Structure 1
Amino acid sequence: MKLAPGETLSEKDTCAELGISRTPMREAVLRLAQEGLVNIVPSGGTFINKIVMKKVIEGHLVRSSLEMRTIRLAARNFDPVHERDLDLLIFRQHDAAKRRDVSEAFNVDNEFHRLLCRISGFPDIWQTIHNATGQLDRVRRRGFPKIGYFDEVIEEHVALSTAIKARDEDEAVTLLRRHLSGISAVIEYVVQTDADAISGKDHIALLNGLQDL
């Protein structure tokens, strides 16, 4: 979300910024196009796509379906060796919230959920989730400026961490379901503050039907 929908993605400038050649850059752009994040116009350039609401909801469906299973395993299989990792991520989240650092808060949020997959014993599941949630992640990142959202995420992660350490499977599942359902408020916030960045807003109603599944 550092580049707004409709902006041109300059391959030349990005290669210079990242210190890479054109070949890996083109491969990356093709991957972004496959995920619906950019639109490649032959002989016309590459442009950042809008947030596609149906893809946001699709990503949420994939994420919630997989994480609701892995969180139970994380609580069941918790090993104290992971306690320090959990505590460190909570500390980093507090620090990011204090500085109102959206990028860091979003990155640590993802690291926390990746760690839960690792604790569950199935670390590769995170990559499956990550590959399916490009559009969802754009909404999640854009949601951090929402009033109270920094603190809300921290409180919910602390509660999840406590339940996992206690190996309380049912409590961990309940807390994660509540945590993931917060996406509705985030979507509403993004629609209100940046409606032009979103396409297919009529699909938002689909989300309500998924929350009870």
Structure 2
Amino acid sequence: MNSHAKLALEDMGAGQPKAVWAYNVIRDAIITMKLAPGETLNEKETCAELGISRTPMREALLRLAQEGLVNIVPSGGTFVNKIAMRKVIEGHLIRSSLEMRTVRLAARNFDPVHEKDLDLLIFRQQEAAKRRDIDEAFKVDNEFHRLLCRIAGFPNVWQTIHNATGQLDRVRRQAFPKIGYFEEVLDEHVALYAAIKAHDEIRAAKLLKEHLGGINAVVEYVLQADADIITGEDDIVLLNALSDV
């Protein structure tokens, strides 16, 4: 099957630049492994599938290359990279460093006006867990953390995290088939929500550290399931070292 046939097309949305839309569509296909490591991304075919010209396509690919998700070989094509363990660790370090601060601010600044949005996300996550809907569960997981950044008063922090965690997201997405993982993430979100709602900054920070610290078990699971999709697995010792920081 051609790579472009694996792209999940969504409405572009009014005012959204074509390059941004193409980036999101292709990135999602890479994160979900619809575009597998080592697979060729045919630029001409993908342009035709998305209905865009080569200029926005190249902008999208350059952004994906900057995140380490693809490798653009001059005159040789574009290829989906394997999951680089060093990039996973780097993404985890950036995310945990930023979120540990924002979660305390979220608890400090929490207003009841946010309850409706958080309740809806928890409900959607519960329903996704019942259906074993990996795509929805992963999407809601990210939306939950993005909302916490907004509650903290710094919504753009999530975009910074997003830009740095492409490889980390690939690992996280692969972990949902792990037995009990749907419920584990849900329970941790419920507890975190309760701490934030109670304005308990210390507990919220403690719960978030435990929540994000689960990445070690996630990486081990993915390595056991399919080590061939990961490079630099010896760097996992660096991830273990971060647990004590």
Query: How many equivalent residue pairs?
Result: 213
- Distance in structure 1 (CA, Å) of the matches to 2:80 and 2:130: 31
CA RMSD of aligned residues (A): 0.9
Letter paired with 2:157: I
**Matching of residue 130 in structure 1 with residue 171 in structure 2:** no
Query: Compared with structure 1, are the counterparts of its residues 37 and 192 closer, same or farther at alpha carbon in structure 2 (3 Å cutoff)?
Result: same
**Which TM-score applies when normalising by structure 2?**
0.85
**Which TM-score applies when normalising by structure 1?**
0.97
Q: Which residue of 2 aligns with 1:37?
A: 69
- Distance in structure 2 (CA, Å) of the matches to 1:11 and 1:81: 45
- Distance in structure 1 (CA, Å) of the matches to 2:72 and 2:214: 33
How far the C-alpha of 1:45 sits from its partner, in A, is 1.1
Identity among equivalent pairs (%): 79
Aligned pairs for 1:1-213 (under 5 A) are 1-213=33-245
In structure 2, stretches of 5+ residues that fail to align are: 1-32
Letter paired with 2:182: F
How far the C-alpha of 1:24 sits from its partner, in A, is 0.9
- Distance in structure 1 (CA, Å) of the matches to 2:186 and 2:125: 7
3-state SS in 1 of match to 2:72:
strand
How far the C-alpha of 1:42 sits from its partner, in A, is 1.6
Q: Which residue of 1 aligns with 2:24?
A: none
Q: Which segment is superposed worse, 11-20 or 179-188? A: 11-20
Higher relative contact order (CA 8 A, sep 6+): 1
In structure 1, stretches of 5+ residues that fail to align are: none
3-state SS in 2 of match to 1:145:
coil
3-state SS in 1 of match to 2:140:
helix
Letter paired with 2:146: R
Query: Compared with structure 1, are the counterparts of its residues 47 and 96 closer, same or farther at alpha carbon in structure 2 (3 Å cutoff)?
Result: same
Deviations 1:137-191 (A, max 9, x none): 1101111111110110000000011111111111101110100000001000000
Segments ≥4 residues shifted beyond 4 Å: none
Deviations 1:92-145 (A, max 9, x none): 111111121111111111000000000001111111111111111110111111
- Distance in structure 1 (CA, Å) of the matches to 2:194 and 2:75: 54
How far the C-alpha of 1:12 sits from its partner, in A, is 2.5
- Distance in structure 2 (CA, Å) of the matches to 1:11 and 1:93: 35
Query: Compared with structure 1, are the counterparts of its residues 177 and 200 closer, same or farther at alpha carbon in structure 2 (3 Å cutoff)?
Result: same
